[in-house]
Structure 1
Amino acid sequence: MEIEMARKLWLNEITEKEFIDVFFQNGIDSEYVLKLLYGAYKIQDVEAVRWMLYVASKFDLFTLNYTKVLCSLIEADWHKSHEDIAFTLSKLKPLNAVESLYKAVFHELEYLNYDDNFALAVKCIWGLGNINSPDSIEKLKSLSKSTNEIIKSNAMEQLEMHGLFTERQSELILNLFKNEISKEDFIEEFYPDYLYTADEFKRSDYVLKLIYDEYNKRDAQAIEYLFYVSLFFGLITAEYMKIASNLIKEEWYQKQEETVSLVDLTLLSSNQ
């Protein structure tokens, strides 16, 4: 009965009021739908899973109480609702969904064989980005090394949105240095979307944060590249000069002879 009622609602064969009066006899109840979804999962009822997810979405019933069953479902391979579940977990942002979303990136599902855009993997990656926990960030770093270009680029985009420096950005800086990319194209490609139209002060703060992060990681090459960006676009402030002054005194920085130098940090620090 529940499945048929949900289908009729989706087809507009009954009104929402008619659906509620029959389906929710004691009023709209999130826990009741959760119970039905659990039941569908246990008996591997593909249609019931699909329609209970629809009802929960239609009436905005998803809560963190759904996390366990949603994680179990997204890891399962017998149904066809993985993308809907990934989208829901992305909205709920439960910390304990990280492993399930990560596993689902690598799903090889027959019903999705046609999808060369890897929509499920992309939704899972964005879900990891939305959760934004130390664990999810580590998963994104792992995915950013994927041989699958779609998975790799989306993972990098999420890392960049959370203020982390990526291999993609490093390559863009080197291309800028070699005059293989225009200033305008660099800005469009280098900065997260929310900074594309921002003023130079906000972009300066963004690059400064990246430099601090790479300083803490002791990544001399990344620091050199980021200082080049700050100089090229005139983003230098006293804070940058302070970092440069401290950096040239660091023993670990001096030992990294393999670093490709794009800027003279000694000269920059002397201007403090």
Structure 2
Amino acid sequence: MWTDDELAKVFVYIHSRAIGLPEKRPAPQISPDTLPLDLNDISSAVRDQLGAAITAKSSDVVEAALGLALLFDVPLSVYFDLSCQLVTEDWHISQEDIIRLLQDAEDARAIPFLRTAIDLKPRLEHLAHDDYGSYYKKCLWALSAIGTPDAIAVIRDCVNSEIAPLREEAEYRLSKIQGPGARCD
């Protein structure tokens, strides 16, 4: 796993390449050859670092590895299994980013992990402010994008939730799937 100094270099590199820096601040001079990874094998680096992050429960490494994956267009297939595992863990802050990746993948193997992610939400301290259900909305969008009968069944189950934002979002999502006037029960 990356050391703190290596991780800092990776973060600076990602942010300077992906989002740029304000014009008043000069771009940091980080040469790709000083990064703690082989840019010719970025897929392996992403997978290795995500695996190490899971073992060490390092939120920062998860964030850096996902940032590299997005920056270098690493196919989700390279780290799909690790993403499914990570979306069910409460020790990092990247659940919403991972949910979006799983939504884009539209892979039915993610269904049970998304179900667990829904149940995980009350334990996610970094989302305590989410009173309006945006986290639930993202989970349900991902299930809707997958669109299989099993995915829709999870959404149907959420209609019976005691958690109002989840229940309301599930009802709304089902109405979009089934069309106007459809019943959600």
**TM bracket, shorter-chain basis:** 0.7 to 0.9
Aligned residue in 2 for 1:129:
144
Query: Aligned pair in 2 of structure 1 residues 8, 100: CA closer, same or farther (>3 Å)?
Result: same
Classify the secondary structure of the residue corresponding to 1:29: helix
Find the counterpart in structure 2 of residue 7 from structure 1.
11
The one of 138, 144, 154 equivalent to 2:153 is: 138
Contact 2:118 2:136 in 1 (8 A): yes
* Alpha-carbon distance between aligned partners in 2 of 1:29 and 1:37, rounded to the nearest angstrom: 12
Q: C-alpha distance in 2, partners of 1:15/1:46? A: 25
1:64 corresponds, among 57, 74, 77, to 77
SS of 1:27's equivalent? helix
Aligned with 2:73: secondary structure?
coil
TM-score between both structures, scaled by the size of structure 1: 0.55
Residue 15 (structure 1) shift: 7.3
Backbone CA RMSD of aligned residues: 2.4
Q: Among 42, 46, 57, which residue is 2:55 paired with? A: 42
Corresponding residue of 1:166: 183
Q: Which amino acid aligns with 1:126?
A: W
The CA distance in 1 between the partners of 2:115 and 2:104, in whole Å, is 16
Query: Contact between 2:87 and 2:95, CA under 8 Å: does it hold in 1?
Result: yes
Report the 3-state secondary structure (helix = DSSP H, G, I; strand = E; otherwise coil) of the residue aligned with 2:87. helix
- TM-score, L = length of structure 2: 0.78
Cα offsets for 1:131-189 (capped at 9, x unmatched): 11111010011112223332123223332333362349xxxxxxxxxxxxxxxxxxxxx
Q: Distance in 2 between matches of 1:26 and 1:151?
A: 41
1:91–1:130: 8 Å Cα contact kept in structure 2? yes
Determine if contact 2:14/2:71 at 8 Å carries over to the other structure: no
The structure with the largest alpha-carbon Rg is: 1
Contact 2:143–2:155, Cα closer than 8 Å, also in 1: yes
Distance across 1 between alignment mates of 2:176 and 2:84: 25
Which residue is equivalent to 1:201? none
Specify the code of the residue in structure 2 equivalent to 1:110. E
Unaligned runs of 5+ in 2: 17-26
Q: Is the 8 A contact 2:107 2:146 kept in 1?
A: yes
1:1-272 matches, within 5 Å, as 2-12=6-16, 13-14=27-28, 18-19=31-32, 22=35, 24-27=37-40, 29-107=42-120, 108=122, 109-163=124-178, 165-167=182-184
What's the CA shift for 1:20? 7.0
- 1:229-272 Cα offsets, whole Å, 9 max, x none, are xxxxxxxxxxxxxxxxxxxxxxxxxxxxxxxxxxxxxxxxxxxx
Contact kept in structure 2, 1:86 and 1:120, CA below 8 Å:
no
Q: 1-side partners of 2:6 and 2:34: how far apart?
A: 12
Task: Report deviation, 1:53.
Answer: 1.1
Letter in 2 for 1:90: Q
Q: How many residues align?
A: 167
